[in-house]
Amino acid sequence: MKPPDRKQVRHKWNLPAYVILNKKLYKVLVKNKANDRTVLWNFEEHKREVHSYSAVAQYGEKAYSFWDISQMLERSPNTLKFRRHEFPEGYRIYTMTDHKPHGWRFDAEQVMEIREVLANTHYGRPRADGEIIPRAIPSRAELKAMLQQEAVYYVQGKDGKFVPTWKAHQF
């Protein structure tokens, strides 16, 4: 069996490039595990802050870009950018040199809200009965597993289709 690709494995102690702490977006500038020190850029207050590496690793939440969300929801990033006005307000990022707007980042709750918007959007011509038929989209449980980096198990049914199942947490 082939070992997993190191880029796909995110251990507890590996920090993403953008982190959300206390509902504020930060960019990780310097990581120093040996001294338990992390230098972060606070986008709201426009300043550098020093935090404990272990605290950021434990309490920090990954901030997802349109590209990350498009990979999870199986949509084009351009489709998500085009429909951004329907989504919840994300965290605005800017360039570090001239402070020009550069993009958006979203937390896990906002990603779930984006999924709900896409799940309640009709695909194709309007139907006579008014029924909403969305395009194929991952279920809430599948998306939650993707956000929490958990494994999703598939069982092949009698008809040959794969059905997602989840392993119960053992405490």
Expressed as residue numbers, the domain containing 58 is 1-63
Q: Phi first, then psi: what are they for 53, rounded to 5°?
A: -60, -45
Q: What is the DSSP string of 5-33?
A: PTTT---TTPPPSEEEETTEEEEEEEEET
| Count of domains observed in the chain | 1
d(CA 77, CA 103): 12
Residue 107: CB atoms within 10 Å = 19
Tell me if 92 is assigned to some domain: no
Tell me if 18 is assigned to some domain: yes
Tell me if 9 is assigned to some domain: yes
**Mean pLDDT, rounded, of the chain:** 83
- What pLDDT, in 10s, does the model give residues 48-63? 999 999 999 889 999 9
61-62 and 37-42: which strand pairing? unpaired
- Global pTM reads 0.75
On the question of pLDDT at 24 being above 90, the answer is: yes
